[in-house]
Structure 1
Amino acid sequence: MYKILIVEDNKVLCNNIEEGIIKWGFDVISIENFENVLEEFAKHNPHLVIMDINLPYFDGFYWCKKIRDISKVPIIFLSSRDSNMDIVMAVNMGGDDFVTKPFSMDILLAKIQALLRRAYSYGSDDRQIIECDGAILNINDGTLTYNDKDIELTRNEFKILQLLMKNKGKIVTRDRIMRVLWESEYFISENTLTVNVNRLRKRLEELGLKDFIVTKKSQGYMIP
């Protein structure tokens, strides 16, 4: 089932869109926290976004650009603003389509279905992100984003963090992490793993993620 995220602060219109989309069997989520749309996007990891332009705090152009930094999912702009400049801005920020308010629900649904077919018809899925407590790991390029700051991770840093974020709330044993990092091709001392984890912790602190990884004595590590 495709998941669609609606970023629209007009409650009545948002509810109407949601009802119309659900009838076609889509899973729909509506944004409530307009102060950090990127975090909401990463948490829900949708297949498509419907984005209003006029929003509280920051406009839809801003959030489209932020989403494009970490994902290629289709984005449809909705707006009562229909000048050529607005449409050009929408495209330049990474939007895939533009629908002017007021609009026909049938037209919006047709555009949604067309974009979903185009994006996922060959089994590809560009929603390659993992989110934990506002930290967003981009699987495609190995970068980590938090509070509008990015860092590039090394191969080992990325593999450790990916494993821990996928298992948030669970202890991941040291043996399991070592198998993922070195695939048991030869013996690696546990001290080598400790060094790698400590380096990763320092990188996380650069972004303000202090104590993001917790050590469980004689067991392993976890993101609580």
Structure 2
Amino acid sequence: MQRIMIVEDDPKIAELLQSYISKYGFQVSVVKDFDKVMDTFYENRPDLVLLDINLPSYDGYYWCRQIRKESICPVIFISARIGEMDQVMALENGGDDFITKPFHAEIVLAKIRSQLRRAYGEYATKAEERVLEREGLKLFPERLELTLGNKIASLSKKEADIIESLMERYPRVAGREDLLEKLWDDQSYVDENTLNVNITRVRKKFQQLGILNAIETVRGAGYRLHVSWIKVGEE
């Protein structure tokens, strides 16, 4: 069942969309706390997001940029703004389509199906999927998934990038500067602890697969992947 996330601060519109879309076999989640949009995103891992522009605290452009740091899932803006510049801003901030209010629910559903086909279905790019494998551990960068045997861990984009670097360099050390360069375009604005926080998150994803001590910290150099999970995968 494909998952749709709705980010809309008008409860009547959000309820209408949720009720209508759910009837057609989609699993629909609605954001309730607009300061924690990304928490709902991480929890539900949607295949598509419906996103309003006018939201409390931060606007839809901001949240679309945050989503784009973690996922390439389709984002459809739904807004009462009808100006050409608003639509340009939506697309330039990572959106895939734009629907103006008031709208017909049938049009929303048709655009959802169209974007899902383009992203995942019959119109999706048929390029061969990349898979990195080390000692039974498999990383699927496009899916944002890490697997060991029949266990699966869902990843954010940054988590997948870190694991990809570690796997590519195994058994060598992945340097801190190399990781920072891969993850962030401008290292000068990255706090020293930012990489440490992301490494901690990656370690937790390994733990979800039953792998302990997967990443070794090499003092003064960076991080190295361990292969001590081989026995775990064989059990």
TM-score class, shorter-chain normalisation, is 0.5 to 0.7
Post-superposition CA distance 1:116-160 (Å, at most 9, x none): 011012587855279xxxx95624422789xx968558xxx96x8
Shift of 1:69: 1.8
Q: Is this contact kept in 2: 1:129–1:139, CA < 8 A? A: no
- Name the CA distance, whole Å, in 1 between partners of 2:93 and 2:145: 20
- Name the CA distance, whole Å, in 1 between partners of 2:109 and 2:79: 16
The equivalent of 1:138 in structure 2 is: 158
Shift of 1:42: 2.0
Q: With a CA cutoff of 8 Å and minimum separation of 6, indicate the structure with the bigger relative contact order.
A: 1
Aligned length: 172
The equivalent of 2:30 in structure 1 is: 30
The equivalent of 2:71 in structure 1 is: 71
Q: Is this contact kept in 2: 1:74–1:95, CA < 8 A? A: yes
Q: Normalising by structure 1, what TM-score? A: 0.65
The equivalent of 1:128 in structure 2 is: 144
Task: List runs of 5+ in structure 2 lacking aligned partners.
Answer: 130-140, 147-154, 163-181, 224-235
Post-superposition CA distance 1:87-140 (Å, at most 9, x none): 00001001000000110111000000010011012587855279xxxx956244
Alignment of 1:140-219 (within 5 A): 140-142=160-162, 151=194, 162=202, 164-165=204-205, 167-168=207-208, 172-174=211-213, 177=214, 193=216, 195=218
Q: Helix, strand or coil for the counterpart of 1:57?
A: coil
Q: Is this contact kept in 2: 1:6–1:50, CA < 8 A? A: yes
Q: 1:39 and 2:39 equivalent?
A: yes
Task: List runs of 5+ in structure 1 lacking aligned partners.
Answer: 182-192, 201-224
Q: 1:89–1:173: structure 2 CA closer, same or farther, 3 Å change rule?
A: closer
Shift of 1:70: 1.9
- Name the CA distance, whole Å, in 2 between partners of 1:126 and 1:86: 30
Q: 1:114–1:136: structure 2 CA closer, same or farther, 3 Å change rule?
A: closer
Q: 1:115–1:161: structure 2 CA closer, same or farther, 3 Å change rule?
A: same
Q: 1:102–1:129: structure 2 CA closer, same or farther, 3 Å change rule?
A: farther
Q: Normalising by structure 2, what TM-score? A: 0.62
- Name the CA distance, whole Å, in 2 between partners of 1:149 and 1:19: 42
Shift of 1:36: 2.4
Shift of 1:66: 1.3
- Name the CA distance, whole Å, in 2 between partners of 1:43 and 1:144: 22
- Name the CA distance, whole Å, in 1 between partners of 2:104 and 2:142: 28
- Name the CA distance, whole Å, in 2 between partners of 1:60 and 1:194: 38
- Name the CA distance, whole Å, in 2 between partners of 1:3 and 1:149: 33
The equivalent of 1:16 in structure 2 is: 16
Q: 1:144–1:41: structure 2 CA closer, same or farther, 3 Å change rule?
A: farther
The equivalent of 1:50 in structure 2 is: 50
Root-mean-square deviation (Å): 3.4
Give the percent of matched residue pairs that are identical in Structure 1 and Structure 2: 38
- Name the CA distance, whole Å, in 1 between partners of 2:105 and 2:89: 24
Q: Is this contact kept in 1: 2:206–2:212, CA < 8 A? A: no
The AA in structure 2 aligned to 1:50 is: L
- Name the CA distance, whole Å, in 2 between partners of 1:39 and 1:12: 22
- Name the CA distance, whole Å, in 1 between partners of 2:8 and 2:143: 21
